[in-house]
Amino acid sequence: MDRRKFFGLPLIGLPVAAGGLLASREQAKAQVTGPAYNGAPAMEVQKYYPRQQQFRIGYTTNTRGGWEGDPFVGISQGREIGFRYFEIFGSSFCATKDGLEPPPRDTRKMRVWPGGYSWKYPTGPRPKREVYYPDRWEALQHRMYEIGAQFVAITGGAAGGSVAFHDPAQRKAVVDNHFNMTRFSRRFGCDHQKTNTGPRKQPNGTPDADLKEIALTLDLLGRRIREELGMKFGVHAHLGSQIQNQHEIDVIMDATRPENVGLVLDTGHITMAGMDPVALAKKLGHRGIEYHFKDTAKSDRGGTKNVPTPQRDMMNDPYFYPLGEGGVDFPAIMAYLRSIKWQGDLNVELDTSPWRPPMESARITAHYIRTVLKLEL
C-alpha cells in the first residue's frame, strides 16, 4: 500500500453511496452532535502539557484467572509490584441489574499445570458491585488516590450500550455511549480513548460494506472526542472483533482521518492474527496512539500460521504469555519508537494467567520491562 495513502484522507477504494463518503460523513455527523449526559453543559477542550517521560508503562487489569470482576484487586496487586498507571474498561464501574459483580464467564474445570497450579473459580456469594459511572467520579478518584494509582485510559462505552459500529441505525447510540465514557475518563487526566468494535459477524472477515460503516462511525466519534474534549481516539484491532486482520486495519485506517482515529496496536492480538507487530508499528508511525504489550509463543514470532478460532480455550490452551516468552520482538518495537521519538502509553495486557496467579505473571512481566527493555514502571 502507498504510504501516503495509508496516512492520507479517506478517499479509499470503498463502495460509497451517491454523494461520496464525505457527504455521508456530514449527514451522519448531524445525527451524533449535541450535548452528552442528558443536556449537561459542554466541557472546555482539554489542555495537555508535554510529558517529562517518553514512555508511560501501564497495566490493564482484566486478566482471567483471578483479576476479572472487582477491578481494584488487579489495581492494588499491580501497584504492589510497582505499576502506577492502569487502563480499565469503563463497564467495570457501571451498575449491574442485580447490583452484584457478574458471575465468572467460565466455570469449566481448569488444567493442572506443571508445578501443580490450577485456577479455581471462586464459589459462594458474589460481591456487591461498586458503581461510579456516570456521576461518582470524585469517589473513584479518591479510591485511586488511596491506592496511589492513576488511570491512563477508561475505555469502551458503558455496560449495556451498543457496540454496533457497523449499523447506521445505531450510530447515534454508539457514539453517545462511547463519548459519555470518554467524558468520564477525562476527569482523571486521561488524554486518549480506545474502543473495540464488537464481535465478528462472519468468520471469513468483515465485509467492506460493513467496514465502511464502521469507519464512518469511528471517524465521527473520534472527531467529536477531539473537538469537544481535546483527546485522541483509537480503535483496537482484536481477535474475534470486526477489525482483526491486515485488510480490515488497512481499510479502517484509509477510511478515517488521521487526526480523528488512530490504532491501538496490541502485540499479542496482531501476532495471533497472522501479522508482524514490528512491521505494523513501522507502517503506522505516529498513528499508533497506544500499545498493548503481551507476548506469544516463540513459534508464532512474526505472525502465527495458526490463527486461533473462537472455540480455542484461552485458559486451558493459552496463546498469550507474560513478556519474555519470545514470540514478540519487543526490543525491535522499542528501538523503532525511540527512533521516531514516539511518546505515549505502553500498557501491559495479559488476557489470561492460567499457570499462576495474575500477580505473579505481572511480576515476571515487570522484571522483563526493567531488565530487558530498560524502562521504569
Give the DSSP per-residue string, 171-228: HHHHHHHHHHHHHHHHTTT--EEEE---B-SSTT---HHHHHHHHHHHHHHHHHHHHH
Residue with the three cell numbers 492480538: 269
Q: Is the pLDDT of residue 18 over 70?
A: no
Best CA proximity match to 292, nearest among 261, 333, 336, 241:
333
Asked if residue 148 has pLDDT above 90, the reply is yes
Q: Which of 132, 137, 224 is nearest to 179 (CA)?
A: 224
Q: What confidence score (pLDDT) does residue 29 get?
A: 55
Contact (Cβ atoms closer than 8 angstroms) between residue 327 and residue 296: yes
Is 3-371 assigned to CATH 2.40.50.140? no
Residue 39, CA atoms < 13 Å, CB-side half-sphere: 0
Is the pLDDT assigned to residue 278 strictly greater than 80?
Answer: yes
For residue 230, pLDDT over 70 is answered with yes
**Hey, where are the domains in the chain?**
3-371
Say what the pLDDT of residue 108 is: 79
Predicted confidence band of residue 260 (pLDDT cuts 50, 70, 90) = very high
Cβ(58)–Cβ(85) below 8 Å: yes
How high is the pLDDT of residue 375?
96
Q: The sheet that has 344-348: what strands, in order across it?
A: 150-155, 85-89, 55-60, 344-348, 288-293, 262-266, 232-236, 192-195
DSSP string, 222-272: HHHHHHHH--EEEEE--TTBSS-SHHHHHHHHHTS-TTT-EEEEEHHHHHH
Q: What is the CA radius of gyration of the chain?
A: 20
Which helix (H) or strand (E) segment is 29 a member of? Answer: helix 20-32
Model confidence band, residue 82 (pLDDT cutoffs 50, 70, 90)? very high
